[in-house]
Amino acid sequence: MSKHDILRQTYGYETFRPGQEEIVDHLIGGRNVLAVMPTGSGKSLCYQVPALVKGGLSIVVSPLVALMQDQVAALKLAGVAAETINSAARREENVEIWKRAAAGDVRLLYMSPERLMTERMIIALKKLPVSLFAIDEAHCISQWGASFRPEYDMLQSLKDAFPKVPIGAFTATADEATRRDIVTKLFGGKAEVFVSGFDRPNIRLMVSPKKGAKEQLLDFLEGRKGQSGIVYALSRKSTEELAAHLVSKGWRAIAYHAGMSAEDRAEAQNLFMTEPGVIVCATIAFGMGIDKPDVRFVFHADLPSSLDAYYQEIGRAGRDGGASDAQMVFGLVDIQMRRRFIDQEEGGEERRRREHKRLDALVAYCEAPECRRQNLLVYFGEESLPCGNCDVCLDPAETVDGTAEARWILDAVIATGERFGAAHIADVLAGKPNEKAEAMRHTMLAVFGIGKAHGRSHWQSLLRQMVGGGFLSIDVAGFGGLGLTPKGRALINGEGAFRYRAAVSAPSKKAERARRMMAAVEEGGVSDELLQRLKALRSKLARQRSVPAYVIFSDRTLIDMAQKRPLTRWDFGEVNGVGEAKLQQFADVFLGEIRAFVQEGRAA
């Protein structure tokens, strides 16, 4: 049958959606393809139709058993001979399915990468008429992507084992660096790359400073009874506390995280998929392959790891095209925690450097003085007009004309060669000499110290907002240097203007310390638990020395410690109330407690 016959008879569609047919044609013609398509745009059809046109056996690689089972069930309902071999099935069932595939009775066979990439399986498949490999969730192969999975790395050898079989790689989220990495690994640099529009105009984008995530969540949910949604949090404990808090307030909520048993996770997922009005409070362990069309909102109670991850997570809302909301609350502590997580990651200095730059891009998005959708799409290489469906468009924040300051920034970026990051540019503008500036003779530039009337934090805030506004770009794939965009070059040539949110500039140290202490007390949850652990440790030390607890550290110091969560002796010395003597006496023991707490939270 032709592709159009299959489209009509198997799927019931008269025409392909925009972007689908060219991908289908390339795979039918035997060419390798990387397709980056937004959630809900019909990625799976782009490889299922070629598989049915070409005949033979097509192998689909998928990361999750539940996702494979759902897709196979849907295909069977459509009359397609599809099966899955996976760890959830009994060995006898898997053997029977393999026999049917070997006999030519299966058209699409779904497998995990680790099951596919064994010597025994590769040898067995070489004896069969394999016509296509389709890699779903292909961003998992790239260590620069939002969800790197080491087992996907094995797929690199497919091109050598089956040189004449086309490979189609599909994902909903991959920036330019991730796309290049996928093409290099999977295809040896030779593949057609299709990038469909990333815009999901039906999702309203909103970001707010964190002032108490639990209460902000309740405020957000007002008027949403009966709606299904996802609440993302950083730790397992947070998901459980958020779910319990919602239940106590009359909402139907469940927790989901990697620490739950497989049976409990399956039960939670099934409830969310089949029952209306369920809210799942989850870590990032939840969501890949979730195909529930009527998810009306995604709420981030903590900062995601990157814009890639954020885009992927909010993409679980509004798959039916209906109006949906994506709300994020974030604070300085979120940013600090994310930076520490990155620093503790394995994978080498290069990966950590890139992840810091990805986080910079996310913070710029959060602080964007102009349309959030424009900011988000620019990150993925697209341009758009103001959307009219984000908080910045709907309720513009008060801004200040910063055109003159922006031109100073652009001058400094150009003068230093468009290869230095925000921290260095801020130092140059503020006139703060450092070893790098002196070695590169940047202290001799006309722009050095031109903005010394403002502090370094002021310039860093403006730099983030200029990235968010599309005047500067971050070279994530390189060394994180800032470069001028066409919009930035137009501004420096006298075209356009730049306005910024003055309130985003960092507050005074005194005000910030007060804010952190209030937040630690008000926020509750993880911060309160750490505070209690630090108090218990202080009491133990006080008993050992037969002194009152406050002699060790005051409550004020412990609150600041719980908020900052220092992980090094240097950071510990920055805690309010820690002098040199107490640093020497108590740093190691308190740092040990904090590291243990952070590690427990990261195990989600």
Using one digit for the tens of pLDDT, what is the confidence trace for 113-156?
A: 988 999 999 999 999 999 999 999 888 887 655 556 777 888 99
Encoded tokens for 52: 């049915």
Confidence of residue 243 (pLDDT cuts 50, 70, 90): very high
**Per-residue pLDDT at 349 exceeds 70:** yes
Choice among 273-287, 389-403, 430-444, 495-509 with the minimum mean pLDDT:
495-509
The pLDDT > 90 percentage for the chain reads: 39
The pLDDT value given to residue 216: 95
Confidence of residue 367 (pLDDT cuts 50, 70, 90): confident
What's the CA gap between 25 and 196, in Å, rounded?
16
**Per-residue pLDDT at 591 exceeds 70:** yes
Confidence of residue 310 (pLDDT cuts 50, 70, 90): very high
Choice among 182-186, 280-284, 519-523, 594-598 with the minimum mean pLDDT:
519-523
The pLDDT value given to residue 130: 96
Q: What is the mean pLDDT of residues 447-464?
A: 87
Burial 247-276 (b: 16+ CB within 10 A, else e): eeeebbbbbbbebbeeeebeebbeebeeee
The pLDDT value given to residue 507: 36
User: Residue 539 CB: number of other CB atoms within 10 A?
Assistant: 12
The residue type of 45 is L
How confident is the model over 458-510, as pLDDT tens digits? 898 888 788 767 788 877 656 668 889 888 999 999 998 988 876 543 333 43
The pLDDT value given to residue 516: 43
Could you give the domains of the chain?
3-195 (3.40.50.300), 203-394 (3.40.50.300), 400-504 (1.10.10.10), 509-602 (1.10.150.80)
Q: What is the mean pLDDT of residues 310-339?
A: 86
As to burial, measured by CB atoms within 10 angstroms (0-12 exposed, 13-18 middle, 19+ buried), residue 572 is: buried
Choice among 207-221, 350-364, 424-438 with the minimum mean pLDDT:
350-364
The pLDDT value given to residue 145: 52
Confidence of residue 289 (pLDDT cuts 50, 70, 90): low
**Per-residue pLDDT at 527 exceeds 80:** no
Contact status, residue 549 vs residue 540, Cβ threshold 8 Å: no
How confident is the model over 29-68, as pLDDT tens digits? 999 999 998 776 788 999 999 999 999 999 999 887 777 8
DSSP string, 423-474: HHHHHHHHT---HHHHHTTGGGSTTTTTTTTS-HHHHHHHHHHHHHTTSEEE
What's the CA gap between 250 and 245, in Å, rounded?
9
Q: What is the mean pLDDT of residues 262-283?
A: 88
Q: What is the mean pLDDT of residues 564-582?
A: 84
**Per-residue pLDDT at 603 exceeds 80:** no
Q: Is 295 helix (H, G, I), strand (E, B) or coil?
A: strand
Query: Residue 370: CB partners within 8 Å, gap ≥ 6?
Result: 386, 392, 468, 469, 470, 499
As to burial, measured by CB atoms within 10 angstroms (0-12 exposed, 13-18 middle, 19+ buried), residue 602 is: middle
| Residue found under tokens 């049958």 | 1
**Per-residue pLDDT at 398 exceeds 90:** no
Query: Residue 73: CB partners within 8 Å, gap ≥ 6?
Result: none
Q: Among 99, 186, 97, 90, which residue's Cα sits nearest to residue 136?
A: 186
Query: In angstroms, what CA-CA distances link 155 with 62, 88, 95, 268?
Result: 12, 22, 23, 31
As to burial, measured by CB atoms within 10 angstroms (0-12 exposed, 13-18 middle, 19+ buried), residue 137 is: buried
**Per-residue pLDDT at 326 exceeds 50:** yes
| Residue found under tokens 């593949």 | 191
DSSP state, 141? G
The pLDDT value given to residue 509: 41
The pLDDT value given to residue 522: 40
User: Best-predicted range by mean pLDDT among 265-274, 304-313, 523-532, 542-551?
Assistant: 304-313
Q: Is 175 helix (H, G, I), strand (E, B) or coil?
A: coil
What's the CA gap between 461 and 527, in Å, rounded?
26
Q: Is 596 helix (H, G, I), strand (E, B) or coil?
A: helix
Q: Is 259 helix (H, G, I), strand (E, B) or coil?
A: coil
Q: Whole-prediction pTM value?
A: 0.63
Confidence of residue 99 (pLDDT cuts 50, 70, 90): very high
What's the CA gap between 436 and 424, in Å, rounded?
8
Confidence of residue 580 (pLDDT cuts 50, 70, 90): confident
